[in-house]
Each structure stands twice: as structure tokens, then as C-alpha cells.
């Protein structure tokens, strides 16, 4: 299982939010590049970067900072995953051409399906879809807009892009176009917003509901509080990765400790375990 230490950039600083609330931002490092170097020194094999200003406002001045993080990561051959405000073809392709290995789209996937599908067909594994859930509702635009999707049903979604008028659309059905053979997206990132930044434990059941049924990698996000949470996700054998944020910044465990614990568990696994 791949561990993704998170670097969330707001106003040029490295922060963590509570349940995605911009008004509850804690600054952990005024220099996100320095934070990236810290994770790289601890052995990070992947980074998860989010441009929060772009996610909230659709535009941002954080690009120079993000570019510097990407350059640092590439010096160490570290995989970079980037999300936040990627709502146009130009934005997605710019970052892929800069050197980001995979971009994560959410608002674009929900609000401009034709473009999202075209990008998936072009870039395939370099595109990930974010499934951000708050009490059963899918959230976009920096988690400020909550689409009227309840539970496992995506209610009253306008699907003119597919010339359909469907109601009670299942979440897996909504994801289906993105995981067809000719697209092969890189991952679905499943986030329980109510747990994000709360150190309340990962929502393993939610993640597994997708990881056990989707034919593409699933990454867990939100609430991870301990190394035990990470090992529990690794134990499932079907969760591809986990994004760690506040627990690392609050010193609940170090990235080095987490990497060692997950590696130790995976070394002891048998094919049938």
C-alpha cells in the first residue's frame, strides 16, 4: 500500500483544514517546499499535493510553490499526485506537462462529464477521480457545493452529457464511464469529509465499499489517526493507498515509522492472508 503524505497549500503556506473548512486552517509550515523536503528525507515514495486556493476559488497564486515541490520530488523519483481547482483542459494538461504524475479531478468530473471523459481517454492512468462524501452527499468546488446525492444514490443528477435523464443513479454507476477499458483511470480517491482533519480514524467501511467493487485502484483519505489505521487498510489487501495529513503534522507518528510498519506487515503477508 502506498502512503501519500499530504501537503495542502493555502495562501502559500502548508496547512491542514478541519472537515474542509477554510475558516479552520492550521498553519504547520509557512514553507510548503520545506515540508516536502522533510517528507522526502523520511523516505516518502509519493506526495499528495492540494492547492486549496484553487479548490475554493478556481484560481490561485500557488503555482510557483507547487512547481518547486514537484521539482524537489522529481530529484528523488518520487510520485506526485495533485488536486485542487483542476476544472479545465488547460489546467489539467499544464500540470501533467510540468511533471505531475497524476492529477485528481472532482468538480470537473461532476460538472463537465464530456471533457472529463475526453481527458481520461487521453491521459488514462494519469487521471484520478475524487469521490468526496459528506454525510452521503458528494461535495465539489473545495467541498463548498454539495450535490443532492444521498447514501448510495445520486439523486436527480442532470446527465444531459450522456443524453440521459436518470434518477437514483448509484455511485458506482456514476463512476462507471471513468473506469471503462478504453480509459483506465489511475485511481478513485475516496474521502469521508466528516473525518478529514479530525483524527477520528479512517472510514474503512466506506473505502472498502468501493475498493472491493471497482476495477481500478482506490485510495483512502480522511481521518487517519494512527499507524494501526494504516495497517488495517493494508490488511484489506484491496486498498491501493492512503493519504495521511494531520496525524503526521501533529506527531501521532512519523512518516518513517508508518512506512516501516506497513512494509513490515506486507512482508509477513501470505498470498491467502
Closest CA to 137 of 157, 113, 163, 164: 157
Please indicate whether residue 179 or residue 256 has the higher confidence score (pLDDT): 256
Query: For this structure, is 132 an active site residue?
Result: yes
Beta bridge partners of 127: 103
Please indicate whether residue 69 or residue 58 has the higher confidence score (pLDDT): 69
CB 47 within 8 A of CB 100: no
pLDDT, the chain, mean: 83
From 51, 53, 132, 229, the catalytic residue: 132
Confidence of residue 157 (pLDDT cuts 50, 70, 90): very low
From 8, 101, 192, 229, the catalytic residue: 8
Q: State the burial class of residue 29 (Cβ atoms within 10 Å of its Cβ: 0-12, 13-18, 19+).
A: middle
Closest CA to 243 of 263, 266, 219: 219
Set out the domains of the chain in order of their start, with CATH numbers: 2-268 (3.20.20.70)
Query: Mean pLDDT over residues 148-165, rounded?
Result: 35
- Would you state the pLDDT for residue 210? 87
List, for residues 103-149, the tens digit of each pLDDT value.
999 888 888 889 999 999 999 999 999 887 765 555 444 443 344 44
CB 241 within 8 A of CB 4: yes
Q: Which element (helix H / strand E) includes 94?
A: helix 89-98
SS3 content of the chain, % helix, strand, coil (to 5): 40, 25, 35
Helical ranges in 176-270 per DSSP H: 204-211, 227-235, 246-249, 255-268
Compute the distance between CA of residue 227 and CA of residue 133 in angstroms, rounded to an integer.
23
Confidence of residue 156 (pLDDT cuts 50, 70, 90): very low
Amino acid at each position: 500500500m502506498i502512503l501519500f503524505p499530504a501537503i495542502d497549500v493555502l495562501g502559500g503556506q502548508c496547512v491542514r483544514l478541519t472537515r474542509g473548512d477554510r475558516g479552520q486552517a492550521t498553519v504547520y509550515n509557512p514553507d510548503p517546499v520545506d515540508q516536502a523536503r522533510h517528507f522526502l528525507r523520511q523516505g516518502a515514495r509519493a506526495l499528495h499535493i492540494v492547492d486549496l486556493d484553487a479548490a475554493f476559488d478556481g484560481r490561485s497564486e500557488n503555482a510557483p510553490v507547487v512547481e518547486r515541490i514537484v521539482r524537489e520530488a522529481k530529484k528523488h523519483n518520487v510520485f506526485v499526485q495533485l488536486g485542487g481547482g483542476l476544472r479545465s483542459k488547460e489546467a489539467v494538461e499544464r500540470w501533467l506537462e510540468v511533471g505531475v504524475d497524476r492529477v485528481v479531478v472532482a468538480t470537473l468530473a461532476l460538472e463537465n462529464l464530456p471533457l472529463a471523459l475526453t481527458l481520461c481517454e487521453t491521459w488514462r492512468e494519469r487521471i484520478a477521480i475524487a469521490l468526496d462524501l459528506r454525510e452521503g452527499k458528494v461535495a465539489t468546488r473545495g467541498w463548498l457545493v454539495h450535490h443532492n446525492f444521498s447514501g448510495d444514490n445520486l439523486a436527480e443528477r442532470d446527465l444531459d452529457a450522456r443524453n440521459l435523464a436518470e434518477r437514483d443513479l448509484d455511485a458506482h454507476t456514476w463512476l462507471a464511464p471513468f473506469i471503462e477499458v478504453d480509459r483506465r483511470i489511475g485511481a478513485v480517491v475516496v474521502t469521508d469529509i466528516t473525518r478529514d482533519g479530525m483524527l477520528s480514524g479512517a472510514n474503512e467501511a466506506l473505502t472498502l465499499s468501493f475498493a472491493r467493487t471497482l476495477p481500478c485502484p482506490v485510495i483512502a483519505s480522511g481521518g487517519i489517526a494512527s499507524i494501526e489505521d494504516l495497517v488495517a487498510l493494508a490488511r484489506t489487501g484491496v486498498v491501493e493507498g492512503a493519504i495521511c495529513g494531520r496525524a503526521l503534522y501533529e506527531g501521532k507518528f512519523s512518516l518513517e515509522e508508518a512506512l516501516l510498519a506497513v512494509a513490515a506487515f506486507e512482508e509477513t503477508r501470505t498470498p491467502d492472508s
